[in-house]
Every structure is written in structure tokens, then in C-alpha cells.
Structure 1
């Protein structure tokens, strides 16, 4: 048997999730799923419908369809058996048959489906083996989880260390700023006291040493050569 694709769609044929196991384009898968609901006869109890060289094997899930797309050359009994296994593992994972539940569990569904089909062909895993494979944790995964947690813890510690360093820098800056402001306040106060204007009264010695204004009288030491009246005797008196 060859399974081309597995999907969950709405009753109108809108795909919710789909897994391709052979070379199919997205538009091809969407076209097939859109066509599929129109092929189902009203009140039909069958679980298969066909078109051209394509066979749809499906199971209703309330308002959803679980669909396997195969070719007509595949064994229909094996297709139905594969559909039963798909249905059991799908219902076990999604719990509720809703579109939201399918979307929320899409990754787990695709991983589980890959344990059923490989390269279009059915594996020999049963439901119990598939559940064991899904629940099994490898040693490498545990190591990777431990490494990831250690890196996360180291990153948190580094952030805390940087936060403490920044806080210390802020405190130091605030302390230096406060000291600088206090020193500037003291300097400005002393400057205001020293720059007050002052006037020194002149001393008595400096007052007495002040020059006297020049006298307007003629100095006694000046001797003129002018005529002196009354002292000159004429020639007539001599005779």
C-alpha cells in the first residue's frame, strides 16, 4: 500500500493539518481535500470514496474528518487497518474532536503519524509501540535539557551581576556628586564673605604729608631791579 498523505480537515474540506509522504504539492493536497466532502453520498456508511486514480479513506470525528489519501493500487483492507491505527493514536492525543485541539497538538500528531508511515509505507509498529516511542526520552535529550537549563541559569546570574554592578556605579556617582556639590557650596560661601567691600581711613601721618597749595604772594628772596622812588637825588640838589 502507498499512502500519499494523511490529514485532518473540516466537514467543508478545509485542511487543518496535513502530512505528505509522497511528492505532492500544497495546492494538489488542498484541491483533493476540498473535493473529498463532495464525494461522500448522503447517509453513507462507507469509509472510502474514489476519484480518478485517488482513494480517500476517512473517519468522521464529530465536525472533522480524519483522511488518508492513497492511490487505487493500494490494498483497501490495509488502508482501513491503517486508518484505524491513525484514529486511535489521534484521539488519544487530541482528547477533544475540535479544530482548536488539533491545532494545539499538531506537532505531537505529526510525530505520531510518522511512527505509523515511513516514505508512504506502513511500519510494523502497533499502538503500544508507538506510545512507547512517543514517551521515550533518550539520553542525548536529557543531556541537552541539562545543558540548556545550565545556560539559562548562567544567563540569569550574569544579568544579576550586571544589575548589581550598575547599581554600585549609580551609588558611587551619586556619592561623588553629593560631595562635589557640598564642596562647591562651601567655596561659594567663603568667597561671598571675602569679597565684601572695605574702606581704610587715611592715617594722620599721611594727612600731614599732603602738599600745601602754592602761595599767591611774591617770594621774599626775589630781588627786582626797578626804580626806587624817593631815594634818587637829582643833580640840582648837589649843587
Structure 2
């Protein structure tokens, strides 16, 4: 029997995703991780890299073929883009908006849905990185409205996914990683990728076996939908 817990991290070649991979390896997990356009420099005997652009249906199909027969204790889908600089709807490019919602909402849940059979058992966790900005309550000023709207769409599509997961008894997390010092978050952000990743990994372990759908941040605090 394999003594290691196994995780699948989607979107892990840099930033928060890569920091999560490193945290899991430090804690003894076996990790399968994906990269989209840039191969990560990190290598480890318990780490396997696979290519994936989650917006590409053929690549999603290939990933499932490569993972056929494998099972995971935790799956984290970490995908997102900030979207257009213009924050007034009449000025925003429609193609850019379409790509934003595909990348941030539709493709992550499509990917999660296809990966559900790979969850090992009732204690397994499926998690998607979302944002506190997705909440009407937590974001009353509509900061970054297009990005926030795409993450709100992600939350709603995830809620629909939760019904499928209930039959398995598995747990679904909508995880806000915090405002993180990454290429997207900028140097003025509150926390480092390592701090965020430490919290995210803690929540993946804390919610094992709890069931249901939870909207929380990296510290484990419940957020308002």
C-alpha cells in the first residue's frame, strides 16, 4: 500500500500553485501537477508534471487518459486571469471578456467535473481557487468587477457541482487564497505565495471527510456567498 497521500494540482508552474506543490512535497505527499505554458523548474522524486491548458478540450481529454486508473486524496484547480484593464463594460473587449469567463469559471468546473471519478474515497477533497471579491457581501464596492463577476460565476457553477459530489460523500471547497504577491497580485499584495500555500494546504487537510460545499479563505475563515 502506498504510504503517501496523493494530490493533483492543476495550474502549478508558478505562483500559488507551485508554492502549494512545494508545501505538499515537504509534508510527504505524492503530487501530480500541471503546467500550461511554462515548465516549472522544481523537480522531485514524488512529483510528476503533465501539460494542460484547461481551456483546451483536447488537452483535458489527454490529461484524463494519462491519469486513467489513478486516485487522489486532494485535487486543487488553481486557474485564473485578471481580465481587461478597462473596468467599464462599454469599453471592454468582448473577446477578452469571453476568455476571462472561460478561464476563470467554465473551464475550471468542466475540469473538476471530469476529475470527480479520480477522488479516492469519502474523505477526498476537491478545491477550486476563487476570490473574496466574488461575494456581493465581501465586495460591496464592486472592486475589479469583471474579475469578481467571473469568480462569482465560478462559485455558482461550483455549487451545481456540489450536488454531484454529495452522492460521493466528498468535500468541495471554494478557496480564496488571499491577496498574494504574484505576477497577478502585484508586489503591493498582503501575503507571499508561500504564506497563502501554507494556509491552503492546511484547509485541504482540515476539511477532509467533512462533506458539503464551503466558501473559505486560506486561513479557514468562512466567507459570505
How high is the TM-score relative to the length of structure 2? 0.33
Which structure has more RCO (C-alpha within 8 Å, separation ≥ 6)? Answer: 2
Bigger fraction of residues in helix: 1
How high is the TM-score relative to the length of structure 1? 0.32
